[in-house]
């Protein structure tokens, strides 16, 4: 086959043929017709047409698609509706974005279903699928500064963090899962033989079908990558709804996926309302899996909607992650890491340390050091490379955070620092510290999802007591402990009811390590080999011979 194709290409310079072209044309006449069409250029993909909003910002021109991406094309919403997406650094409008309708959802799901059942994607071998994902990762890396700039102006992320984490980890995620594509395999299983017959049982790992992915606004591109890379590596097609307030990097990703060569219908992006688009995806009869990151109440609603056709569901939901700091820790490191645990990405971080338990003997010194370090933080333009702390994601969230702080003061917690909006344009909030927080208080039980450090002290040496307090929450996403005593650390890691435990570090996630919560923080995993299983089904086959 290879020799024949090379002979044809030698005779007809410029003709592009691959082995798969012959495999897909099993009759000689069909192969000749396909070759002639290719030679005439009749089989070329339609050129991708992208309408942009372009802005000169961050010493570059960024080109941002703003329409729905359905079946390989950027199109307006079916009913023509749009909405404004806002720059949280100054409150200005970045772009008017198409707001997908129910009709758009149905079109996107139909395109994804056709691509999965009858399209090139469904026939593609696993190694070729991986090659496309590697190519997409390379394109994302080539456009990393543009993606990070879009992420920064749309979500308020500090540019340096957007470049390193939001975009950098997204590229790593696609490369990691690209490597898994041709390593998804079943197993052979010895079973009882019904003599004199012989039996062989083996399993196949198969893609589920059309998947819906609904992501939050705190890490728009990275949350897209965490879920869609595993979904695509498993061989599924997808319809993704970005958060309504941060759609722009998802739409830029759609453009890059098309330029990487992903077939039409494999990836579809629908900006718009969660109550409309997300709800329809959750209950759509042709969706076979929903992957969601967001609030616990919305996750519960998705579970109810998914019951209509018993979709597979994975949920990464709210958290109130405890961080326990013992007196035998390396204090300066604990202060630095503790601040990162709370203020990383302006506190808009699903695994943020929602409550710090500090041993009594070092409590006051710890608080003093934290306040000293906060005063050194630069709050300002997220595109300024020297900025430490950018604006909150959107106005309604800032208002919610201010109310959260007011509640803490009313309940009797001590506001040591911050708690106010910064007096400048945009949605900026001061990094905040509360102490004397008692277990019954609202701020001890509910996450802020913002730059609010909630500190409670515990009695010296009371390990089991602080463990009980740390576990007295309905959430179980992450947790942490700082101590030089490794036996104590391992004992605590065993007892903490959380999907991730950090020891003498925090926020250290990696594409190869599974990520997900317990209790009302959800179920299912992102990242690592376990994430693949969220997007696969197992079929058992038994043969008698």
458-466: long-range pairs with CB below 8 Å, 24+: 458/324, 458/357, 458/358, 458/359, 458/360, 459/359, 459/360, 460/327, 460/359, 460/360, 460/361, 463/488, 463/491, 463/492, 466/324, 466/357
30 Cβ contact partners less than 8 Å away, ≥ 6 residues apart: none
Q: Which of 316, 430, 447, 534 is catalytic?
A: 316
Reading the block at residue 244, the tokens are 């309504």
Q: Is 117 a catalytic residue?
A: no
- As given in the structure block, the two tokens for residue 430 are 């001061």
What's the burial of 422, exposed, middle or buried (CB within 10 Å: 0-12/13-18/19+)?
Answer: middle
Give the whole-angstrom CA distance, residue 388 versus residue 82.
33
Residue of 410, 409, 329, 417 whose CA lies nearest to 371? 417
Alpha-carbon distance values, 161 to 47, 170, 466 (Å): 34, 13, 33
Dig out the tokens for 493 from the structure: 């890691």
Please tell me the number of Cα atoms within 13 Å of 320 on its side-chain side.
Answer: 22
How far is CA 121 from its chain centroid?
Answer: 23
- Residue 302's closest CA among 324, 274, 330, 321? 274
DSSP letters, 517-534, are -EETTEES-BSHHHHHHT
Sequential DSSP letters for 123-142:
HS-HHHHHHHHHHHHHHHHH
535 and 227 Cβ atoms separated by less than 8 Å: no
Scan for tokens 């594509």, then name that residue.
Answer: 181
Catalytic residues: 316
């Amino acid at each position: 086959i290879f020799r024949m194709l090379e002979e044809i290409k030698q005779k007809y310079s410029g003709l592009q043929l691959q082995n798969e072209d012959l495999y897909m044309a099993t009759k000689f006449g069909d192969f000749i017709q396909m070759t002639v069409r290719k030679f005439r250029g009749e089989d070329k993909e339609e050129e991708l047409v992208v309408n942009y909003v372009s802005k000169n910002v961050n010493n570059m021109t960024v080109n941002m698609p703003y329409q729905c991406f359905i079946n390989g094309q950027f199109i307006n919403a079916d009913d023509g509706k749009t909405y404004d997406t806002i720059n949280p650094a100054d409150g200005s409008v970045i772009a008017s974005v198409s707001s997908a309708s129910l009709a758009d959802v149905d079109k996107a799901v139909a395109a994804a279903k056709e691509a999965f059942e009858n399209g090139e994607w469904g026939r593609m071998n696993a190694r070729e699928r991986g090659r496309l994902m590697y190519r997409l990762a390379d394109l994302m890396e080539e456009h990393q500064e543009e993606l990070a700039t879009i992420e920064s102006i749309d979500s308020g992320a500090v540019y340096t963090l957007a470049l390193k984490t939001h975009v950098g980890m997204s590229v790593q995620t696609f490369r990691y899962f690209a490597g898994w594509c041709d390593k998804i395999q079943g197993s052979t299983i010895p079973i009882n033989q019904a003599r004199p017959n012989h039996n062989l049982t083996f399993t196949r790992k198969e893609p589920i079908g059309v998947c819906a992915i609904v992501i939050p606004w705190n890490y728009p591109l990275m949350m897209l990558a965490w879920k869609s890379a595993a979904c695509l590596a498993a061989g599924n097609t997808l319809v993704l709804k970005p958060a309504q307030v941060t759609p722009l990097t998802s739409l830029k990703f759609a453009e890059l996926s098309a330029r990487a060569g992903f077939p039409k219908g494999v990836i579809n992006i629908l900006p718009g309302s969660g109550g409309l688009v997300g709800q329809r995806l959750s209950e759509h009869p042709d969706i076979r899996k929903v992957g969601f990151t967001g609030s616990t109440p919305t996750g519960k609603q998705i579970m109810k909607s998914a019951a209509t056709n018993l979709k597979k569901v994975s949920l990464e939901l709210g958290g109130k992650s405890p961080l326990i700091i013992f007196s035998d820790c390396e204090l300066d490191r604990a202060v630095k890491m503790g601040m990162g645990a709370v203020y990383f990405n302006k506190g808009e971080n699903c695994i943020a340390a929602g409550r710090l338990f500090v041993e009594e003997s070092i409590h006051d010194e710890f608080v003093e050091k934290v306040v000293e370090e906060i005063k050194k933080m630069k709050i300002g333009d997220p595109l300024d490379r020297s900025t430490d702390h950018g604006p909150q994601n959107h106005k309604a969230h800032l208002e919610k955070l201010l109310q959260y702080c007011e509640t803490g003061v009313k309940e009797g917690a001590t506001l040591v620092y911050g708690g106010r909006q910064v007096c400048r344009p945009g949605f900026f909030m001061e990094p905040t510290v509360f102490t004397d927080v008692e277990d019954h208080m609202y701020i001890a039980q509910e996450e802020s999802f913002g730059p609010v450090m909630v500190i409670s002290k515990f009695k010296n040496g009371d390990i089991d007591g602080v463990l009980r307090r740390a576990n007295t929450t309905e959430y179980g996403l992450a947790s942490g402990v700082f101590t030089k005593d490794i036996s104590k650390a391992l004992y605590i890691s065993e007892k903490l009811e959380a999907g991730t435990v950090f020891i003498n570090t925090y926020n250290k996630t990696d594409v190869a390590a599974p990520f997900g919560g317990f209790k009302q923080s959800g179920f299912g995993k992102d990242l690592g080999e376990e994430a693949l299983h969220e997007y696969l089904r197992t079929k058992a086959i038994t043969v008698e011979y």
